[in-house]
């Protein structure tokens, strides 16, 4: 961790020399941190997919590897994972998606959905889009934010009905 902090300090020090606007340095540091987290998380998911492959039920055969971009709380992340076929019933499954509770065929992670819905609930959809863009450097559309809110509302309604 000390090495990461030292590297971040050196990069920020250079940025301070290049500009007199500390807010630019803060913004740069935040995007640098997000980029590092995204790369680390992406690599961790790739390694975990390998672990799941090695420990899978022998009735599951690799069909192919599929990729998608997932919008997360720290920015978009490209992930590739194995898709399996069950030899008994021919169903397909992505173990990584199931174990990590990644929404099937969704562009957004559960964490992003919860975070952006919470921001939109106390401010506005446009404010949520702007805030996410400010912190990640990535633009999300109001329709994406609205869909997250709708999905979270449906989940909350199901929980209330069940409980």
Residue 9, both tokens: 């300090």
Residue 161, both tokens: 């009905």
Could you report the per-residue pLDDT of 80-115, keeping only the tens digit for each? 999 999 999 999 999 999 999 888 778 888 888 888
The beta-carbon contacts of 88-92 under 8 Å, at least 24 apart in sequence, are: 88/59, 92/63
Q: Evaluate if residue 161 carries a pLDDT over 50.
A: no
What's the predicted TM-score (pTM) here? 0.77
Q: Evaluate if residue 163 carries a pLDDT over 60.
A: no
Domain limits of the chain?
A: 1-107, 108-163
Could you report the per-residue pLDDT of 16-41, keeping only the tens digit for each? 889 878 888 888 888 888 888 999 99
Do 93 and 99 form a contact (C-beta atoms < 8 A)?
Answer: no
**Sequential DSSP letters for 96-132:** HHHHTTPPTT-SB-HHHHHHHHHHHHHS-HHHHHHHH
Could you report the per-residue pLDDT of 40-62, keeping only the tens digit for each? 999 999 999 999 999 999 999 99
């Amino acid at each position: 961790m000390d090495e990461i902090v030292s590297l971040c300090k050196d990069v920020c020090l250079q940025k301070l020399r290049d500009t007199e606007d500390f807010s630019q340095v803060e913004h740069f540091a935040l995007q640098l941190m997000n980029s590092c987290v995204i790369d680390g998380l992406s690599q961790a998911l790739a390694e975990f997919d390998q672990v799941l492959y090695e420990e899978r039920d022998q009735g599951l055969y690799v069909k192919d590897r599929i990729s998608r971009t997932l919008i997360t709380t720290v920015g978009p992340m490209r992930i590739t994972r194995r898709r399996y076929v069950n030899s008994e019933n021919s169903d397909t499954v992505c173990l990584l998606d199931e174990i990590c509770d990644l929404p099937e065929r969704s562009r957004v992670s559960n964490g992003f959905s919860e975070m952006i819905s919470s921001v939109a609930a106390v401010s506005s959809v446009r404010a949520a889009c702007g805030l996410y863009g400010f912190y990640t450097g990535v633009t999300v559309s109001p329709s994406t934010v609205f869909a997250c809110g709708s999905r979270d509302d449906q989940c909350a309604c199901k929980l209330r009905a069940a409980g």
